[in-house]
Structure 1
Amino acid sequence: MKTTSRAPAPRRLPPEQRERSILDGAVSLAGESGLEALTVRAVAARVGVTPALVAHYRPVMESFVAEVFTTIVSAERDEVIASYDDGVDLRTNLLRLIETLLDDSRDDVAMVWVQSWALGARNEALGARVRAEMDLWHSALEDLIARAAAEAADITVDPASSAWMLLAMVDGMSAHSLVHWAPRDRTDLARRTLAAVLDAPSTSTPTSTSTTSAPTSPARTHS
């Protein structure tokens, strides 16, 4: 008698563990192939479960994409900001931060950011998360600059404007690098941009980081 083989049924897990495995699988998939790769079938194949099970735990794919985006970029932000060294001057700290974000090893996060700006125009759940993460990045960097300025009389820049300029530079160069269009020495350009920002005296009052009045140019406020 001829028999047909069937794929083994997914191992039963407690709901919390299954939910975590689905999120982890989606994060891994997005890191490899970007947010555009996130479909119910693709996530199910990555995790080794049925599409119906993924749909059960995450019934709205647009919201799930937004969740995956937040998981990826918030982890990078926490890591990078935590590396700030209070025992080192602001210029050195910011250069280290910029070099870290521009490192080729972070192209996966840069891809997630670039795709989020495009997909967020049609996916409102994602768009809202993108705006929130941009605000958090900007606020974190503005706070670092403001703290340093309060302790050093020679730092007279506007922390809010400085944060916008630095983040716009990082985002632009990160996006360019994905298609291999970038200066030969990105570190040198980062150093010169940082000098231009920090050596310029403040001439305006701090700008709001509200999502209703933020500049239209993209800023990673991770990649």
Structure 2
Amino acid sequence: MTARIWAVLPAAGRGTRFGGEVPKQYLEAAGKPLIAHALDALLSHARIDGAVVALAADDPRWPGWTTRHGKPLLRCTGGGERADSVLAALHALPSDVGDDALVLVHDAARPNLRAGDLDRLIDAAIAHPDGAILGAPVRDTLKRADAASHIVATEPRSALWRAFTPQAFRRGALSAALERARADGVVVTDEAMAMERMGAHPALVEGREDNLKVTTPADLALAEYLLARGTADG
């Protein structure tokens, strides 16, 4: 059994795709910022010992939390890319969190994480040497388009999944994978991609599809609806 389990949240981004002056992790839904919902989902879970949040150097909106649910909440300065922020947070973990400790990387703007999904993810990541991620099989029909947005072909979807977070890996292996990607000049879009480049084959754990990431105003409205109904605690 892994002795320590910590969470990492990259939150140094500006959320430019969403629009507006407020970074999306600080947008409010059901009475508190999205990042607060994400942190509460993680730190209220009995198996998670603490969390590190990677923030922009000049972030004026961070409330200064140092504990939440009676567990340590650390902060560090993130970078220009997601991978830079995750790597900074991995380096900021306490010294007693060893290379074999499990680290869960979670999106700060993904507020509706369920405890049951966390349990299944942690169990799978402990059992699998290459770690595990939450996701869901693709259920929609996929179309390939040309430059003019005309359909070129229908793509098979039987082996395709959408990747969610958290994504759970051993601290040492994930740090090495992110360092290698940086050295190679590769911008990875999630932690699993960095691990894949090292030859790893992380396990896919099917999670709830309402574990949505807020990217657009419509996403925020849906998150507000789900959280207001109290479904995030189920």
* TM category, shorter: under 0.3
TM-score (norm 1): 0.25
TM-score (norm 2): 0.24
Structure with the larger strand share: 2
Q: Which has the larger radius of gyration?
A: 1
